[in-house]
């Protein structure tokens, strides 16, 4: 059986940007001779595109085939894009927040000779512009109190202390990191997807949604996770001298894989940090029979003279992460907290859906808030997802494990920290070369003082 020739072309042979004005003109010339279908087949153009060109040709002639957004029909109006990009960079260099409406206003106020013909600053144009110029939408999570350049010396100081600790002893340290994470009894996101057109958006919650708790996970450089510390809010009535609520007495002792304490504000205190070190970290050190070094940030409950004096008394090494550099050096922030928070949020949403089902359609009734035991269970299940290799990877990504040169060569460090470490190694080598011929005569001065003292005693 003889087949018939199918004249309909395939839909996508050539990208739009390759359709020059000369190509369109040759297509129209071919269309005049053999018709639309055969011209589309031979030129490998879709019927929709060919029909559009024919329509423009009949209206305006060959000039109707030119692209209004370009100068010669092939290259998009790059001068217009460069103008907007320059204005955009100028605003961002001044740290001015820029949204889509501002970009559209910049385009409207551009000189007329740069704008394409019949230009309209629409949402579609804005979307295509962001794609062309690689402009992404970012969320402002927090504001840095100092410039990043001003934080570099603090990172240098931390890395120098870390190197000195490694060189001071040949023993292998087990590094321990702890960090305080604020948790509320409502850990769902503060936004929801919703159908357009509804003005009032309702989100299911409970009356204790703003009640705060503090969760302090603790990880070790050998991959272990120690029992975490939980601090909940509890306001004691009157002039009570109790330090632990009677209703939670079953949580007082460290018989479970966590430590629970209560304060009136829900924050940790220096005495709680000391108690945790004494009851959890020191027994763990005795079981390891190794020296340990605790890595802490400068939270108000950590960076106190009482905590440092206690660590000195117990002969425990410690390193403090400078303020503003925790996003680079705080191990839990770098490699653990995101996984942990996502799991806790997922478990809370499951609990919330179950509570909504129990309402049986009565939306005016209240949901019973989650209990302390509920939040404990969610956080502990979240910790179960923190595998040992994730913990070790966090220590490597912050420069704790292994020589800095090796971590840099193997691209183990985080991208933001690797450049600072590379500069630090250069800075360290330059400093050593400059101080190569430095001679410390402090010992000679001490010896001279002792000799003079002996002479003085002999004269007496």
Q: What is the pLDDT of residues 168-219, one digit of tens each?
A: 766 678 999 999 988 887 777 666 666 666 666 667 777 777 788 899 999 9
Average pLDDT over residues 142-163: 72
How far is residue 61's CA from residue 34's CA, in Å, rounded to a whole number?
19
pLDDT tens profile 95-122: 778 888 888 888 988 998 888 878 888 8
In this structure, the answer to whether residues 175 and 309 fall within a common structural domain is: yes
- Residue 273 · residue 307 · CB < 8 Å: yes
pLDDT at 15 over 50: no
Answer yes or no: do 223 and 166 share one domain.
yes
Question: Once rounded to an integer, what is the mean pLDDT over residues 341-363?
Answer: 78
Look up tokens 């011929």; give the residue.
Answer: 437
DSSP SS3 for 214: strand
Q: To the nearest whole percent, how much of the chain has pLDDT over 90? A: 12
Domain-embedded: residue 28: yes
Task: Please choose, from the candidates 262, 209, 260, the residue with its C-alpha nearest in 3D space to the C-alpha of residue 235.
Answer: 262
Is 140 a domain residue? Answer: no
Taking the C-alpha atoms of residue 343 and residue 59, their distance in angstroms, rounded to an integer, is 61
Instruction: Tell me whether residue 419 is in a domain.
Output: yes
Q: Directed axis angle between helix 78-93 and helix 100-108, to 10°?
A: 130
Band the pLDDT of 32: cuts 50, 70, 90.
confident
What's the CA gap between 366 and 363, in Å, rounded?
A: 8
Over residues 280-303, mean pLDDT: 91
In whole angstroms, what is the distance from residue 325 CA to residue 373 CA?
A: 34
Same domain, 154 and 295: yes
Q: How many CB atoms lie within 10 A of CB 284?
A: 17
Structure tokens at 452: 């003079």
Residues 338 and 410 in one domain: no
Q: Establish if 200 belongs to a structural domain.
A: no
> Same domain, yes or no, for 248 and 162?
yes
Better-predicted residue by pLDDT, 245 or 76 = 245
How far is Cα 386 from Cα 226, in angstroms, rounded to an integer? 12
pLDDT at site 403: 83
Q: Are residues 93 and 123 in the same domain?
A: yes
In a domain, 7, yes or no: no
Same domain, 32 and 181: no
Residues 385 and 416 in one domain: no
Q: How many domains does the chain have?
A: 4
Residue 201 lies in a domain: no
Residues in the chain: 460
Which run of H or of E encompasses 261? strand 259-263
CATH of the domain at 274: 3.30.420.10
Mean of the per-residue pLDDT values for the chain? 78
Contact between residue 217 and residue 255 where contact means Cβ atoms under 8 Å apart: no
Apex 10 CA angle, 8 and 12, nearest 5: 140
* Together in a domain, 398 and 410: no
- Residue 27 pLDDT > 80, yes or no? yes
Cβ burial of 196 (10 Å; 0-12, 13-18, 19+) is exposed
- CB-based burial, 397-427: b 16+ in 10 Å, e otherwise: bbbbbeebeebbeeebbbeebbebbeebeeb
Domain that holds residue 109: 78-133
Q: Is residue 353 one of the residues assigned to a domain?
A: yes
In the chain, % helix, strand, coil (3-state, to 5) comes to 50, 10, 40
206-215, 229-238, 254-263, 423-432: segment of lowest average pLDDT: 423-432
The reply to whether the predicted model has a pTM over 0.75 is no
Question: 334 with 352, same domain?
Answer: yes
Identify the bridge partners of residue 316 per DSSP, sorted by sequence position.
none
């Amino acid at each position: 059986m003889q087949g018939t020739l199918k004249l309909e072309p395939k839909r996508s042979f050539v990208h739009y940007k390759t359709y020059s004005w000369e190509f369109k003109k040759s297509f129209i010339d071919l269309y005049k001779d053999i018709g639309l279908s055969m011209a589309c087949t031979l030129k490998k153009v879709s019927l929709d595109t060919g029909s559009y060109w024919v329509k423009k040709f009949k209206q305006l002639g060959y000039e109707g085939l030119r692209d209004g957004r370009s100068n010669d029909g092939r290259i998009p109006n790059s001068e217009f894009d460069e103008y907007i990009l320059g204005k955009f960079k100028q605003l961002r260099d001044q740290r001015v927040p820029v949204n889509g409406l501002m970009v559209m206003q910049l385009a409207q106020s551009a000189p007329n000779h740069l704008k394409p013909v019949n230009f309209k600053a629409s949402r579609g144009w804005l979307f295509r512009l962001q794609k062309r110029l690689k402009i992404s939408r970012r969320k402002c999570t927090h504001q840095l109190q100092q410039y990043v350049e001003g934080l570099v010396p603090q990172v240098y100081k931390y890395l120098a202390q870390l190197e000195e600790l490694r060189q001071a002893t040949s023993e292998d340290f087990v590094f321990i990191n702890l960090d305080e994470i604020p948790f509320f009894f409502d850990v769902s996101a503060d936004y929801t997807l919703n159908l357009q057109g509804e003005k009032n958006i309702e989100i299911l919650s409970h009356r204790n949604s703003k009640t705060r708790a503090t969760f302090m996970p603790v990880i070790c450089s050998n991959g272990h996770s120690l029992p975490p510390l939980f601090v909940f809010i509890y306001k004691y009535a009157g002039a009570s001298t109790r330090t632990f609520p009677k209703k939670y007495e079953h949580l007082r002792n460290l018989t479970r894989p966590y430590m629970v304490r209560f304060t009136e504000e829900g924050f940790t205190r220096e005495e709680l940090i000391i108690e945790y070190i004494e009851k959890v970290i020191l027994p763990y050190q005795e079981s390891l029979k190794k020296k340990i070094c605790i890595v802490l940030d400068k939270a108000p409950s950590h960076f106190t003279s009482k905590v440092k004096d206690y660590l000195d008394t117990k002969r425990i090494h410690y390193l403090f992460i400078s303020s503003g550099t925790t996003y680079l050096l705080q191990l839990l922030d770098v490699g653990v907290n995101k996984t942990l928070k996502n799991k806790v949020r997922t478990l809370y949403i499951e609990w919330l859906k179950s509570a909504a089902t129990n309402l049986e359609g009565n939306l005016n009734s209240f949901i019973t808030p989650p209990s302390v035991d509920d939040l404990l269970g969610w956080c502990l299940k979240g910790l179960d997802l923190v595998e040992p290799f994730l913990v070790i990877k966090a220590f490597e990504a912050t420069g704790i494990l292994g020589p800095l040169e090796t971590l840099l060569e193997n691209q183990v460090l985080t991208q933001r920290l690797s450049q600072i470490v590379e500069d630090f190694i250069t800075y360290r080598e330059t400093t050593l070369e400059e101080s190569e011929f430095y001679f410390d005569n402090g010992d000679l001065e001490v010896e001279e003082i002792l000799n003079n003292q002996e002479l003085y005693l002999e004269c007496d």
